[in-house]
């Protein structure tokens, strides 16, 4: 079984491997939505947020060979947050855009213990993990089970209203909720125990 450190190193290794696109496809699948949503929350338009995502991917691509992950200096997600903030600043200033390359050493400045807190980033990170985990387990459930979960838990519908809408008993709605929550919790825990984001 992989430990958190070996998982992080294997992910970074896949990003460094220029002979395959697999690592970058994984990066895009893992982080694109997070980067985009955070840029939008910081005031970027759709087009600007798309540019920010591309900028962050480009700067990570350029810096990955020099990037040495050290969890004592901060988390990879802190590096990504800083990359988005820098990309937004570069987008606002053509001069800054010409000078830009994100130094991977900036991670030392964004350590969770030392760096400034950003409640928006933390909230978006948690929502991102939840959305990603829900997508990753969706194939394990019948569509009706997932719809009951989404309406009752995420949509805050009562069990009775959910049941009536979907043609399910109240007990079936609670069962769907319980099954999906249990699997969702397991999925998030497995990712967090093997990934030091």
Residue 140 or residue 97, greater confidence: 140
- CA 1 to chain centroid, in Å, comes to 23
Reported pTM: 0.59
Note the pLDDT of residue 46.
92
Take residue 5 and report the two structure tokens written for it. 């450190």
Could you say which architecture CATH assigns to the domain 141-193? Orthogonal Bundle (1.10)
Do residues 157 and 151 touch, judged by C-beta distance below 8 A?
A: yes
Q: Which pLDDT band holds residue 178 (cuts at 50, 70, 90)? A: very high
CA distance from start to end of the chain:
18
Note the pLDDT of residue 117.
54
Indicate if the pLDDT at residue 50 is higher than 90: yes
| 4-116 maps to CATH 3.60.10.10 | no
Average predicted confidence (pLDDT) for the chain: 77
Note the pLDDT of residue 166.
96
User: How many degrees, rounded to 5, is the angle at CA 14 between CA 26 and CA 7?
Assistant: 85
Note the pLDDT of residue 94.
47
Give the length of the chain: 197
- What is the secondary structure of 124-158 as a DSSP string? HHHHHHHHHHHHHHGGGS-HHHHHHHIIIIIS---
Reported as a single tens digit per residue, the pLDDT across 67-112 is 776 667 777 788 888 888 888 887 765 444 444 445 554 444 433 3
Domain boundaries, the chain: 4-116, 141-193
Half-sphere exposure of 179 toward its Cβ, with a 13 Å CA cutoff? 17
Note the pLDDT of residue 9.
56
Q: Quick one: average pLDDT of 25-50?
A: 88
Residue 71 or residue 2, greater confidence: 71
Q: Which pLDDT band holds residue 124 (cuts at 50, 70, 90)? A: confident
């Amino acid at each position: 079984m992989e430990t958190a450190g070996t998982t992080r190193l294997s992910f970074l290794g896949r990003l460094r491997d220029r002979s395959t696109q697999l690592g970058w496809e994984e990066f895009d699948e893992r982080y694109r939505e997070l980067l985009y949503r955070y840029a939008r929350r910081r005031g970027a338009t759709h087009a600007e947020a798309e540019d920010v995502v591309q900028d962050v991917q480009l700067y990570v691509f350029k810096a990955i060979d020099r990037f040495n992950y050290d969890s004592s200096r901060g988390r990879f997600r802190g590096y990504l947050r800083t990359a988005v903030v820098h990309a937004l600043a570069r987008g606002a200033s053509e001069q800054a855009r010409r000078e830009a390359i994100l130094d991977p050493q900036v991670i030392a400045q964004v350590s969770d213990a030392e760096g400034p807190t950003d409640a928006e980033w933390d909230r978006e990170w948690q929502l991102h993990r939840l959305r990603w985990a829900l997508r990753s387990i969706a194939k394990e459930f019948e569509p009706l089970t997932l719809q009951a979960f989404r309406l009752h838990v995420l949509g805050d519908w009562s069990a009775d209203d959910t049941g009536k809408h979907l043609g399910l008993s109240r007990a079936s709605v609670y069962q769907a909720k319980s099954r999906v929550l249990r699997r969702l919790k397991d999925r998030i825990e497995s990712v967090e125990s093997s990934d030091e984001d």
